[in-house]
Structure 1
């Protein structure tokens, strides 16, 4: 497949890495020559310097015979015009655009993206993706990372193991014997700086960060087995009343269980806009780093604080201050991956990476039917892949123990029809089954080959 990716920032680079690794013909376009050079030096891609919306630039990038264009520059308007030019001038059949501004995304204007108006096939809103990620974090407060798979019937949970975890020093195969009815599998372990897919004889130790696949009905029990307390989030303080904070507050207001929310916003204009849009939520105007304002918002009585301003350092410090003020659980929005090692020393419970959520969303829309979802772990160190088994796949008709998976791959859950099961070595994989598996980054191309998805995306 021939793909043009417009924008060579973190999102564009990650998409290019994924697609070029699957032997696709990828061209990256950016008006910053340094970003283009970084992409061509580190990835098997071609690079074009120039403005992506210019017809001659797209022509040089090969738009006349490309299969797909992904517009992920920093400008909504450039992304939209790029898709229009790709459609009107070059007849590109599939166009995906990243659009941040909520003004372009209101439901009443949805006709804007029809083929005879602004022809964009898939619109990705990073802020909506981040808001949904924040809501997932709040729904599983014991986890530092969480993502849904298999039509919402399976959940990936990232759990940090404390000294009082009751299953420390227990081999993983013994956990299966101890909790035979538990539909959960440990698929990844981060020990220090090393992330790996464990063997059945591997033990769990204090300070390990583990990734567990759990059936949605067994999430609470899974969390408790690994020493975490299941607690409902009744009171939430949100630092940052921009688009993300507002979307989260509105979603919490809409819940039937009546979560009490308070929002702190530094910008008066944003605070007034949030106050007008929210019905039951209290909006406080001021600095989220102020201990006095955090105390006024009631962080000592809150179940969680969510720091989602547009500044990473503010989010980290606001989370630290809220924790010092008595809040038991803090989530920070962090764009810069180099800041993530600070999470543990600062005792911040969970983070949201906007770029990772956007990349995962774009990949989910690129791959139709065969690979249904991709979720990036850490700094692109591993991926969780949800894929459907084709009749032509080499794994169809085999049991899991008969399949020659790479060492860094573990199957976390299998969906047969509409039923999700916990797999073991004797589980037979049939045509039409959907598998969710954990794969180290180096093993992803081999996983793609096993599922035979790279030759047929559509």
Structure 2
């Protein structure tokens, strides 16, 4: 299964439609909307909830349905060839190390020491010394014909600013590192949708360790208040006693899907969870404990 964050603009075919209506009109697309971030508020949706323009929708789907889901949301899948990475920090360096084997990568940093280090490692990348906030320099490096821009300097402000510059030049794919958690909502409001935050990633590992052995994975949904849990179902757990639609599951939580014998399934109301399944649950923090009781 795959989890997508989709920003719904005017081109989306689901605007002003309820989740029930979208599912009814597209029976061949297997998906489940598990969270909607709207006006700084996170919603765990029901079938009656309606998508509106500028929603950030977290949707879980199967690999075979990704293309159709993207078309439904008004997105176009395209080939990425040219990439600019702003910042030669550890994230930028590791990203370039992998991407340079498949793509045309340019990495920009203003530190002489870092440029020297990058030159020893990135033998297939173009390494440029300069200030990524300089528009003329970005133009010289071909920002107007770039397919993807990755802003991973040590400054959240610089990353947001340079990402907005890339957006101005119509770069199709932009990824922004935002270390200040308070800035995440601001970044999304100005149209930066692909946000990464190391503190939230670290928090995911800590939470997984603290909760219990039933939890195999915890992911914080960047910009949203909800969390994604992958829970291993124990024998005789309450969640195995009834189909999902008959469970008294918390209102602020939703079962997105489950993995059984290595195969992923989108959760439906009639789905019956079994012992040994790995169940993906999206939940608001206040209902975390209630959700855990279904797996004990």
TM-score under structure 1 length normalisation: 0.62
Per the TM alignment, residue 338 of structure 1 is displaced from its structure 2 partner at its CA by: 1.6
2:92 aligned residue: 245
Residues 1:374 and 2:221 aligned together: no
Comparing 262-271 with 209-218, greater Cα deviation is found at 209-218
SS at match of 2:143: coil
Q: Is the 8 A contact 1:304 1:329 kept in 2?
A: yes
Q: Partner of 2:6: helix, strand, or coil?
A: strand
Q: Distance in 2 between matches of 1:399 and 1:260?
A: 50
Pick closer, same or farther for the CA change 1:444–1:366 going to 2, 3 Å. closer
Q: Give the superposition deviation at 1:363.
A: 3.6
In structure 2, the residue matched to 1:416 is 260
1:446 and 1:200 map into 2 onto residues whose CA distance is 22
Q: Distance in 2 between matches of 1:180 and 1:352?
A: 33
1:378 CA displacement: 4.3
Residue 16 (structure 2) aligns with: 169
Partners of 2:172 and 2:223 lie apart in 1 by: 27
Bigger RCO (CA 8 Å, 6+ sep): 2
**CA separation of 1:163 and 1:264: change in aligned 2, threshold 3 A:** same
> Does the Cα contact within 8 Å between 2:204 and 2:220 map onto a contact in 1?
yes
Q: By how many angstroms is 1:364 displaced?
A: 4.1
Q: Which residue pairs with 1:361 in the alignment? A: 205
Equivalences for residues 221-300 of structure 1 within 5 A: 221-254=68-101, 258-300=102-144
Larger radius of gyration: 1
- Shift of the 391–345 alpha-carbon distance from structure 1 to 2, 3 Å rule, reads closer
Report how far residue 175 of structure 1 moved: 1.8
- Distance in 1 separating the partners of 2:170 and 2:26: 35
CA distance in 2, matches of 1:360, 1:442: 16
Contact 1:295 1:325 (C-alpha < 8 Å) held by counterparts: no
Q: Which runs of 4+ in 1 moved over 6 A?
A: none
Corresponding residue for residue 238 of structure 2: 394
2:176 aligns with one of 332, 353, 359: 332
- Cα root mean square deviation, aligned: 1.8
Question: Do the aligned partners of residues 265 and 382 (structure 1) sit closer, same or farther apart at CA in structure 2, a change above 3 Å counting?
Answer: same
CA separation of 1:414 and 1:352: change in aligned 2, threshold 3 A: same
1:186 aligned partner: 33
**Structure 1 stretches lacking a partner, 5+ long:** 1-153, 453-458
1:443/1:226 CA distance change after superposition, 3 Å: same
Question: Higher mean Cα deviation, 419-428 or 377-386?
Answer: 377-386
* 1:244-278 CA-partner distances (Å, limit 9, x unpaired): 10000011124xxx211100011011111112101
Contact 2:204 2:219 in 1 (8 A): yes
Displacement of 1:334: 0.5
Contact 1:398–1:430 (8 Å) recurs in 2: no
Given that 2:196 and 2:222 are in contact with CA atoms closer than 8 Å, whether structure 1 keeps it comes out as: no
1:435 aligns with 2:279: yes
Q: Is the 2:35–2:226 Cα contact (8 Å) retained in structure 1?
A: no
Map Cα deviations across residues 365-390 of structure 1 (whole Å, 9 max, x no partner): 56675211111124672111111110
Give CA-to-partner distance per residue, 1:294-346, whole Å, 9 cap, x none. 11221111111111011111111111222223423322111112212322453
1:325–1:163 distance in 2 versus 1, CA, 3 Å:
closer
CA contact 1:397–1:431 (8 Å) conserved in 2: no
Deviation readout 1:6-43 (Å, 9 max, x if unpaired): xxxxxxxxxxxxxxxxxxxxxxxxxxxxxxxxxxxxxx
1:359 Cα deviation from its structure 2 partner: 1.5
| Larger deviation, residues 317-326 vs 196-205 | 317-326
In structure 1, the partner of 2:58 is 211
Change (3 A) 1:296 1:189: same
Secondary structure in structure 2 of the residue aligned to 1:166 = coil
Q: Aligned residue for 1:80?
A: none
1:220 and 2:81 are equivalent in the alignment: no
SS in 2 for 1:275: helix
How far apart, in 2, do the equivalents of 1:190 and 1:322 lie? 24
Aligned residues: 296
Structure 2: gaps (5+ residues)? none
Distance in 1 separating the partners of 2:40 and 2:163: 23
**Conserved? CA contact 1:380–1:441, under 8 Å:** no
